[in-house]
Amino acid sequence: MQRQGIGVKGPRFLQPSDTYLASRGWTIPWRDGHAQLSCAHSLETRVLSVRVDGIEVARLNRPTLGSPWAECVVPNSPIRVVQIAYPHGRYRTTAFVNGICVEDSRTDAQWSATAPAAMDSFEGLFGTSRWFSPLGGLWFGLLFSLAFLAESSGVAAMTRLVGAVSLFILPFVWVMFNVGVIRWLIPRRSWPNGLRRLIVILTFLGVPLLGILVAQAITTAPK
């Protein structure tokens, strides 16, 4: 006999779908005993399938950085399933019974207080970027430094060392300068997102290009 939820008739259950991938689960109080609550994500859409003992009872649209807290209620029950979005494509899914988390007994208010703040599209794109971060600065520095070492095999050892160190420091400093520009722009949400993106692009690409053109003009000027 098919298991039914609290006050939920069998025909009201959504149909299981093979397009979902199995995910984690929890043991929850259900009717006069216990059942297995689980969530599975869709292969095709940003939707979670919420299931009780393998039977789909609800669906939850996945959150975004602009709206990082998403939840749904299992019909006619005190159970809520919550998913929280974090930067870099990370998600945390948990369940609450009567407002208490089944994992750590914290309340939903305590959980929501520690959830990420909503981001606008500019912050979601640039503020969470790994390229515009200290790690990104290290990668850029190593890239330029290693490229110089590979192309300067015939140069004196001291010159190679100075060049490699310089070409590591300069890109790192430049990336961190752009990180500062981005952090300065993030709280200016009243500015159009297109304008803030343009400022970042011009700062990151335009200023170095201008410096190269000025350097070329100085070195090629007639004496």
pLDDT bracket for residue 159 (50, 70, 90): confident
**Bridge partner list, 41:** 21, 48
- Give residue 40's region: left, alpha or beta (phi > 0; psi -120 to 50): beta
Residue 211 has pLDDT above 70, yes or no: no
Residue 121 has pLDDT above 80, yes or no: yes
CB 171 within 8 A of CB 141: yes
Written as one letter, the residue type at 206 is G
pLDDT bracket for residue 156 (50, 70, 90): confident
Q: What are the tens digits of pLDDT across the range 83-105?
A: 999 998 888 888 999 999 988 88
CB 82 within 8 A of CB 69: yes
Q: Tokens 């993106």 identify what position?
A: 197
What is the pLDDT of the chain when averaged over all its residues?
82
Residue 2 has pLDDT above 60, yes or no: no
Q: How far is CA 86 from CA 62, 93, 116, 142, in A?
A: 12, 11, 7, 28
Residue 9 has pLDDT above 70, yes or no: no
Q: How far apart are CA 12 and CA 35, in angstroms?
A: 18
Rounded to two decimals, the pTM is 0.73
The candidate with the shortest Cα–Cα distance to 204, out of 121, 146, 148, 132, is: 132
DSSP 133: S
Domain ranges of the chain: 10-117, 122-220
Average pLDDT over residues 204-215: 74
**Bridge partner list, 50:** 39, 58
The candidate with the shortest Cα–Cα distance to 185, out of 172, 173, 196, is: 196
Q: Which fold has domain 10-117?
A: Lipocalin (2.40.128)
What's the count of helices (H) and strands (E) in the chain, helices before strands? 6, 8
17 CB-contact burial (10 Å; exposed 0-12 / middle 13-18 / buried 19+): middle
Average pLDDT over residues 143-169: 83
Residue 81, H or E segment: strand 79-86
Q: What are the tens digits of pLDDT across the range 24-75?
A: 678 888 877 888 888 888 766 788 889 988 888 999 999 999 999 999 999 8
Q: Give Cβ neighbours of residue 147 (< 8 Å, ≥ 6 apart).
A: 167
